[in-house]
């Protein structure tokens, strides 16, 4: 069976299918259940748009503590397959985070610039706790000191799409993770 897809000008090949991804999401859900077992208020999940929506939903279905969702748009300036240092943040709607348990939900941690920006921004809002759960990380690229608390998938340093991740706006709804093969 052919597990390649073409998105715009580029060809991607399947690396992980949905069941492989969801097994790891299940594990992260168990870790979160242990970490947030005794919360007295709902945990605020800050979902980074647009890539983390699929992960946020798959995770939310599997946890047993209450959550509220807040959305934030993070845009890093750069070419379509490479981010650069500056990250612009814009929160959708109102969000009061003082004294709350805040859990940022990310699709992928690459350089970590986005997580550093989010962390610095949310710390000024005085949360009780601030952590991150990410669908995936490119561990060999990540070079920041901040801890990455919960990780579903460890990936090689290759460009990937699917399960929320996009290439130039495309490929987010692929029910698996696909890696770049060529043009």
Catalogue the active-site residues: 110
Residue 133's binding partner, choosing from ligand IMP, Mg ion, none, with beta-carbon cut-off 5 to 8 A by kind?
Answer: none
43 vs 74 by CB, closer to Mg ion = 74
Tell which residue, 66, 22, 74, has the closest CA to residue 47.
74
Alpha-carbon 70 to chain mean position: 14
Q: Which residues ranging from 38 to 97 are in contact with Mg ion (CB under 5 A)?
A: 51
Nearest distance from residue 70's CB to ligand IMP, in Å?
16
Nearest distance from residue 37's CB to ligand IMP, in Å?
28
Q: For residue 162, state whether it binds Mg ion (rule: CB under 5 A).
A: no
The C-alpha atoms of residue 46 and residue 86 are separated, in whole angstroms, by 20
Quick one: CA dihedral 163, 165, 169, 171, positive or negative? negative
The C-alpha atoms of residue 67 and residue 102 are separated, in whole angstroms, by 10
Encoded tokens for 63: 């946890």
30 vs 77 by CB, closer to ligand IMP = 77
Q: Which residue has the tokens 């990455």?
A: 148
Nearest distance from residue 84's CB to ligand IMP, in Å?
8
Where along the sequence are the contacts to ligand IMP (CB under 6 A)? 51, 76, 83, 106-114, 159-161, 165-166
């Amino acid at each position: 069976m052919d597990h390649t897809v073409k998105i715009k000008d580029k060809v991607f090949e399947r690396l992980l299918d949905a069941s492989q991804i969801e097994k790891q999401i299940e594990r992260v859900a168990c870790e979160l259940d242990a970490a947030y077992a005794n919360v007295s208020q709902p945990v605020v999940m800050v979902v980074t748009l647009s890539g983390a929506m699929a992960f946020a939903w798959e995770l939310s279905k599997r946890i047993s503590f209450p959550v509220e969702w807040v959305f934030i748009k993070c845009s890093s300036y750069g070419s379509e397959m490479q981010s650069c240092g500056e990250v612009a943040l814009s929160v959708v709607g109102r969000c009061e985070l003082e004294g709350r348990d805040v859990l940022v939900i990310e699709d992928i941690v690459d350089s970590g610039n986005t997580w550093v920006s989010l962390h610095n921004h949310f710390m000024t809002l005085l949360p009780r706790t601030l952590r991150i759960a990410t669908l995936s990380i490119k561990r060999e690229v990540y070079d920041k000191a901040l801890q990455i608390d919960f990780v579903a998938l460890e990936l090689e340093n290759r460009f990937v799409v699917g399960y929320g991740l996009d290439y130039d706006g495309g490929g987010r709804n692929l029910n698996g993770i696909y890696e770049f093969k060529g043009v």
